[in-house]
């Protein structure tokens, strides 16, 4: 921040930069509105950031892999954390994901049937290329220490913006879908403790008869029946995220910094003029076209937080253990209640009785044509993909580095006064996350004079740094 502003550090600058950094840290769904608390005091600085690439900035100041991870294990085998955890765009900012096909490295992968068959488009390239990275991991064991174990390093107190208790946010999700940040779980830093996530999976398969029904009748989609503009694989969650991004683009002509790769539109810090159409609307976004998939994998989670004497945890602040709770899963079959041949047979059996039956049955069929039965309660869990695990640092911004980069970008000397203003910018960026975008105002309102100077800053690259 100091480098961008080209200012000398003093008490006032230090305070303002802290506000900015806090606002940036709150730039995440669904808490965008929390940014306002920190932007208010530095609104006069915000025009200075008109040319700042927020994406680049946020990439620069986020904790890197080596700073975050200590040890990683999969099925009891040691892994290089920085090889298996990849940069992941989420509506809470930049995170790190394991077993995800929506990470930056695997974003070209495509899930064919929603379960395990993975291809990359176009098909010719898949056949010629080594795309083993697109294989989804499975697991046949259950119980503690049989899945993914992660030991995380303690965060540096001097780098904290003081917005949240030290820790991480964990999101478990399907490998083909983007993390739903509204379902994240906070894990605090606590030595000699372990946080266990026990997974109970289930799956639903649909018959060819269900596929033959119209979408209006079955009220679900098969993956090849819907195409998304931004994402490779159709899931209801990906569709809803795309719907939200389209709404943001329609209203303000931009996308959040963590999805700056979608279009050329860049998120700008400046608030549109009062009266700008769409910004006073309170109605909900219409995403009714996003239907669930007919092939479904569901997962229920149980959480256990307990003392642990694992020697690896002695020198680390968080021990995360993710595994299957039991060796079997429930499998459901979704099929048509009865087809046309059933109606013909019944009608031939009895002209009157069957006629009444068919009329009544057809009415019920038209209302709910699909029946779901339990096929087994002991389905082999190794046939169900292990979920992707996404880890997001509680503090998305390293304060000191963020202040320095912004000051350099603004070509200002970092002093106490500028530091205070830049902290508002960083605070606003930290709150730039779905669905809480509105919270950035509390920070950016205080640095209006800086915002126009950050308009061209790449936020994605900044947050990664």
pLDDT in tens, 159-183: 777 777 888 999 999 888 888 888 8
Asked whether residue 217 is domain-assigned, the answer is no
Instruction: Extract long-range pairs of 62-67: CB within 8 Å, 24+ residues apart.
Output: 62/93, 62/94, 62/393, 62/396, 62/397, 62/398, 62/463, 62/464, 62/465, 63/155, 63/393, 63/395, 63/398, 65/96, 67/153
Is the separation of the CB atoms in 80 and 69 below 8 Å?
Answer: no
- Domain coverage including residue 337: 330-379
Q: Do the domain assignments include residue 368?
A: yes
In a domain, 352, yes or no: yes
Burial class (CB in 10 A: 0-12, 13-18, 19+), 426: buried
Place of tokens 């809803």: 240
Instruction: Yes or no: say if 252 and 272 are a contact pair by the CB < 8 Å rule.
Output: yes
C-alpha 264/C-alpha 254 separation (Å) is 8
Structure tokens at 105: 């490295």
Decide if 448 contacts 19 (C-beta within 8 A).
Answer: no
CB 66 within 8 A of CB 398: no
Q: What does the alpha-carbon distance between residue 222 and residue 215 come to, in Å, rounded to a whole number?
A: 9
In a domain, residue 235? The reply is: no
**Among the ranges 135-139, 226-230, 435-439, which has the highest mean pLDDT value?**
135-139
Mean pLDDT of 53-69: 87
State pLDDT tens for residues 75-94.
989 999 999 999 998 888 88
In a domain, 305, yes or no: no
Calpha distance 33→257 (Å, rounded): 16
Domain presence at residue 365: yes
Integer angstrom CA distances of residue 221 from 43, 114, 116, 210, 373: 46, 11, 18, 10, 19
**What's the pLDDT at 269?**
40
- 263-279 pLDDT tens trace: 544 444 444 555 655 55
Sign of CA dihedral 28, 29, 30, 36: positive
DSSP state, 137? P
Structure token pair of residue 249: 């683009």
pTM above 0.75, yes or no: no
Q: Please give the pLDDT value at position 126.
A: 45
The answer as to whether 364 is a domain residue is: yes
Residue 49 lies in a domain: no
Task: Give the pairing of strands 25-28 and 430-432.
Answer: parallel
In the chain, the number of structural domains is: 1
For residues 260 and 251, give the distance between their C-alpha atoms in angstroms, rounded to a whole number.
Answer: 16
């Amino acid at each position: 921040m100091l480098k961008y502003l080209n200012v000398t550090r003093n008490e006032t600058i230090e305070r303002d930069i802290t506000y900015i950094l806090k606002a940036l840290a709150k730039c995440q769904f669904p808490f965008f509105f929390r940014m306002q608390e920190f932007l208010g005091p530095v609104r006069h600085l915000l025009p200075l950031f008109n040319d700042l690439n927020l994406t680049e900035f946020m990439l620069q100041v986020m904790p890197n892999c080596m700073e975050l991870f200590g040890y990683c294990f999969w099925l009891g085998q040691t892994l290089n954390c920085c090889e298996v955890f990849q940069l992941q765009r989420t509506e809470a900012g930049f995170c790190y994901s394991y077993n995800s096909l929506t990470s930056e490295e695997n974003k070209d992968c495509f899930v064919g049937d929603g379960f395990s068959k993975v291809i990359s488009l176009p098909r010719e390239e898949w056949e010629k290329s080594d795309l083993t990275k697109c294989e989804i991991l499975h697991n046949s064991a259950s119980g503690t220490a049989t899945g993914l174990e992660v030991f995380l390093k303690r965060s540096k107190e001097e780098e904290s913006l003081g917005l949240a208790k030290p820790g991480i946010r964990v999101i478990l999700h399907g490998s083909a879908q983007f993390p739903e940040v509204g379902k994240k779980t906070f894990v605090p830093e606590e030595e000699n403790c372990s946080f266990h996530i026990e997974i109970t999976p289930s799956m639903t398969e649909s018959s060819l008869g269900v596929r033959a029904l119209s979408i209006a009748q079955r009220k679900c989609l098969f993956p090849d029946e819907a195409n998304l503009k931004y994402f490779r694989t159709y899931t209801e969650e990906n569709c809803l995220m795309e719907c939200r991004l389209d709404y943001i683009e329609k209203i303000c002509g931009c996308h959040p910094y963590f999805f700056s790769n979608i279009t050329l539109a860049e998120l700008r810090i400046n608030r549109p003029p009062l009266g700008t159409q769409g910004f006073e609307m309170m109605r909900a976004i219409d995403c009714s076209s996003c239907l669930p998939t007919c092939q479904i994998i569901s997962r229920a989670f149980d959480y256990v937080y307990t003392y642990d004497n694992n020697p690896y945890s002695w020198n680390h602040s968080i021990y995360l253990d993710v595994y299957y709770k039991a060796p079997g899963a429930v499998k459901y079959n979704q099929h048509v209640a009865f087809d046309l041949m059933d109606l013909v047979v019944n009608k031939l059996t009895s002209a009157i009785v069957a006629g009444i039956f068919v009329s009544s049955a057809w009415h019920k069929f038209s209302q709910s044509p699909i029946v779901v039965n339990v096929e087994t309660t002991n389905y082999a869990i190794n046939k169900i993909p292990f979920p992707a695990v996404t880890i997001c640092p509680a503090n998305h911004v390293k304060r000191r580095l963020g202040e320095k980069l912004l000051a350099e970008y603004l070509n200002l000397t970092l002093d106490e006064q500028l530091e205070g203003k830049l902290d508002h910018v960083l605070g606003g960026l930290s709150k730039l996350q779905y669905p809480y975008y509105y919270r950035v105002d509390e920070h950016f309102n205080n640095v209006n004079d800086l915002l126009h100077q950050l308009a061209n800053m790449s936020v994605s690259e900044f947050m990664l740094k």
